[in-house]
Structure 1
């Protein structure tokens, strides 16, 4: 009885915090402009902080350099990403880390140049750049609808994958990465994601193919993105990336799927089909 009550309370907390997250994201997405840029920037920096917290369990990372580089990249996104500025920011950050390791080696007789530069820059590439492209995606003529569809497909995928995997899951998907994930759950999540995309197209009475593309991206790449964070957590020995969202873990835990999905949606609709 106690376990049952505890499970109910856990689900209630998870549902309540999940609803708050959905409301905040959709509200900022609807408002667009500075509201969306601000939310994305906050989520990006918090996720980066969680990533550095995990990575620093294994080796040293220059968090300050990483945060400064992240802020510069997000700030420049307010006027659109300039490739030269982006490359310069990444290169300068890399050299600053190397200079710091030179000083560490000279003063302490030890250095972590390869690990420090790799871990610090990985956070920028894995988290900050994808979120930055989601700022740019919102500015496309149909960016608001595309982002709404992406989040709807992602959430539909997550829920369906969990429910179907828990009920009918038998064949393990990646047992050494995420033991509870199954192929049945993966297929169920993919199906729900595509269905969500088609539903948006039906409601808007428009061509379904762009929304099917989004559904496929979220259903396949989104679930792979979730596994990607699981690999990081396995290697760093943590269960959750953080504790900021009760019942869900950290910011990165909640938004890991949209990192790769947002990047791919922007590439397709902001670059290839533009």
Structure 2
């Protein structure tokens, strides 16, 4: 068997296992089985998001090749400040009880950053543009990801929204790839991602909707309607891949990093999550008022 394939398989299994352990009560149960009351699930999830944010910020910093100006010295302080503000809301259960206009404005910033990347890439060649893009593209999505699950300290429960979000993203990518491989003829973005086709995109949407139907049918404790979530994920996950591909293309980089052997970096693996997490979070906060 090809050595690279073995490496990819092992690292892929470890990656999926870490996601499952940190986004479900299983992680805390396993650890507390060794030493009772050692950790709560919300801390494992917070640790996961903190790690992904840290590595992802460093990868984006390296991709964008900052110059010698002062902006590169304030990238990480700004990332930490934003994440700290969201972290306070996470531990005080403040994500679920009110609607904030600032959240909508922050989500709009992600849209503006994506438009800038595709339509006005020259703006990202200035260190000020690199600073703004890095903070918006990495810090905001991971910060909003803290607001996806709900947990109760008193009842010691942790909801599974993030796990099923990952499952839908993985299924969307897989379904789109397989449909495109067998039926794809019309390229979606040949200069950015030559293998993506409109047939694959449609197949990914349809088959992910079928999977989300069963999630909605059998997982009644999840927030929102998961047929809607499934559609949003299938619709926006390919955009996340295109954004990451365009970013690397603009700066002549093949992979964002090598922390996951055979798979690249955090941004390579979580490109769809960076777009889907804020979109799904927006749906969750709007769903309460519909």
Length-normalised TM-score, structure 1: 0.78
> Is contact 2:124-2:130 (8 Å) kept?
no
CA distance in 2, matches of 1:10, 1:187: 31
User: As a proportion of its length, which structure holds more helix?
Assistant: 1
CA distance in 2, matches of 1:185, 1:58: 39
1:11 and 2:5 matched: yes
Cross-structure match for 2:206: 191
1:132 and 2:143 matched: yes
CA distance in 2, matches of 1:113, 1:192: 36
- The runs of 5 or more residues in structure 1 that have no matched partner are 87-111
CA distance in 1, matches of 2:68, 2:245: 18
Q: CA RMSD in A?
A: 3.1
CA distance in 2, matches of 1:18, 1:202: 29
> Is contact 2:159-2:221 (8 Å) kept?
no
1:70 to 64, 69, 79: 79
Say which SS state the counterpart of residue 137 (structure 1) adopts: coil
Say which SS state the counterpart of residue 136 (structure 1) adopts: coil
1:171 and 2:181 matched: no
Structure 1 residues 149 and 39: CA distance shift in structure 2, 3 A: same
Say which SS state the counterpart of residue 62 (structure 1) adopts: helix
Cross-structure match for 2:89: 80
> Is contact 1:153-1:192 (8 Å) kept?
no
> Is contact 1:152-1:196 (8 Å) kept?
no
Cross-structure match for 2:130: 119
Report the number of matched residues. Answer: 243
- Counting only pairs closer than 5 Å after superposition, residues 1-274 of structure 1 correspond to structure 2 as 5-6=1-2, 9-31=3-25, 32-56=41-65, 62-80=71-89, 115-139=126-150, 144-204=159-219, 210-273=225-288
Length-normalised TM-score, structure 2: 0.74
- The runs of 5 or more residues in structure 2 that have no matched partner are 26-40, 95-99, 104-122
- Pairwise CA distance, 1:60: 6.2
CA distance in 2, matches of 1:207, 1:244: 31
Say which SS state the counterpart of residue 173 (structure 1) adopts: strand
> Per-residue displacement from partner, 1:11-61 (whole Å, max 9, x unpaired)?
333232222111111211124422111110110111111111111178968
Q: Which range moved further: 53-62 or 260-269?
A: 53-62
> Is contact 2:24-2:158 (8 Å) kept?
no
> Is contact 2:66-2:72 (8 Å) kept?
no
Structure 1 residues 49 and 208: CA distance shift in structure 2, 3 A: closer
Q: Which range moved further: 11-20 or 177-186?
A: 11-20
Structure 1 residues 140 and 197: CA distance shift in structure 2, 3 A: farther
- Pairwise CA distance, 1:203: 2.4
CA distance in 2, matches of 1:38, 1:61: 30
